[in-house]
Amino acid sequence: MEKINNVTEFIFWGLSQNPRVTKVCFLVFSFFYTVILLGNLLIMLTVCTGNLFKSPMYFFLSYLSFVDICYSSVIAPKMIADLMAKTKAISFVGCMLQLFGSHFFGSTEILILTVMAYDRYVAICKPLHYMVIMDRNRCNSMLLGIWIGGFIHSIIQVALVVQLPFCGPNEIDHYFCDVHPLLKLACTDTYVVGIVVTANSGTIALGGFVILLISYTVILFSLRNHSAEGRCKALSTCGSHIAVVIMFFGPCTFMYMRPDTTFSEDKMVAVFYTIITPMLNPLIYTLRNAEVKNAMKSLWGRKVFLRC
């Protein structure tokens, strides 16, 4: 049977149909996106210029900031522009690209957070072998594996959706192109595709969450043998990681660990992992990390000195 596709573009319903609400959302999310860009760029600049790049933790932190910028940039600019637009349209190709980008950078962020948890496990539980285990070659190999894993995950998602027939309607009850809302518009039975999508996303989201949970549990148990100062420092670092994990993995698990069903709350839940978490990451890692704060002070002091 030949594939039927009469849809050349999709129409978003957006976050709200209320003009007053959309104006407030425009201002709020414009501010949030600016904070995302400036905050994460500051983290990257601090790590690169503050001689922190040699440390595996800051090596992955800089790439986490880069991924946060890319992830939010796939979704936020279009969402913000649509808040003030009469027709919130996106082309079919643009929709598939947004679907690919959101899952590519989203899954990459999950994998980076997982590797960062492993890095903390090695640093706290095997401190004498830390630099041997987490040498630059291994970090580069892990990073390459992260990018490849993210690409494989996202290309599977897009391949499953792009082969579906779309013959109308073309209105998506969301503010960006995601798998479950698109499956609802397909002119065919999507039960099998929905199961595969859920299994694929579940492997990334739930698998990463379980690994993180095990890593931090082992870390917390091992801290009993450390000094009070060592425990405080380790808990401060791990506390920031755990905060990010809860904010990112909680909404992701709610969204993708279920079949192709959608709820009215999905849009608000998606805001947490597409906008809120990328915005809070720089604040969490900066406020809870003395080394980053000192490097930022040094960077700022250098700039002031150069101006004088």
pLDDT of residue 291: 66
| pLDDT interval class at 305 (50, 70, 90) | very low
pLDDT of residue 95: 94
**Predicted confidence (pLDDT) per residue in 10-42, tens digit:** 999 888 888 888 999 999 999 999 999 998 998
Domain extent listing, the chain: 9-291
pLDDT(306) > 50: no
Q: Which two tokens stand for residue 117?
A: 């948890």
**Predicted confidence (pLDDT) per residue in 239-280, tens digit:** 767 777 777 777 887 777 766 566 667 788 888 888 988 888
pLDDT of residue 304: 42
Strand order in the sheet with 89-91: 89-91, 9-12, 171-172
**Predicted confidence (pLDDT) per residue in 119-140, tens digit:** 888 888 888 888 899 998 999 9
**Predicted confidence (pLDDT) per residue in 48-72, tens digit:** 877 777 888 889 989 999 999 999 9
pLDDT of residue 91: 93
Share of the chain above pLDDT 90, in %: 31
9-291: CATH homologous superfamily? Answer: Rhodopsin 7-helix transmembrane proteins (1.20.1070.10)
**Predicted confidence (pLDDT) per residue in 168-194, tens digit:** 788 988 899 988 889 888 888 888 888
Q: CB atoms < 10 A from the CB of 214, how many? A: 12
**What average pLDDT does the structure give for the chain?**
83
In this structure, what is the dihedral angle of CA atoms 174, 179, 185, 186, given to the nearest 10 degrees? 170
**Predicted confidence (pLDDT) per residue in 72-123, tens digit:** 999 999 999 999 888 899 999 999 999 999 999 999 998 998 898 888 888 8
pLDDT(202) > 50: yes
pLDDT(286) > 80: no
DSSP-assigned states of every residue in 162-193: HTS-B-S--EESSSS--HHHHHHH-SS--HHH
Higher per-residue pLDDT: 207 or 98: 98
Higher per-residue pLDDT: 183 or 307: 183
- Chain centre distance of CA 305: 36
| pLDDT interval class at 301 (50, 70, 90) | low
Higher per-residue pLDDT: 282 or 50: 282
Count of alpha carbons within 13 Å of 135, Cβ hemisphere only? 4
pLDDT(303) > 60: no
Instruction: Give the span between the Cα atoms of 185 and 259, in whole angstroms.
Output: 15
Task: Note whether 266 and 174 are within 8 A (CB).
Answer: yes
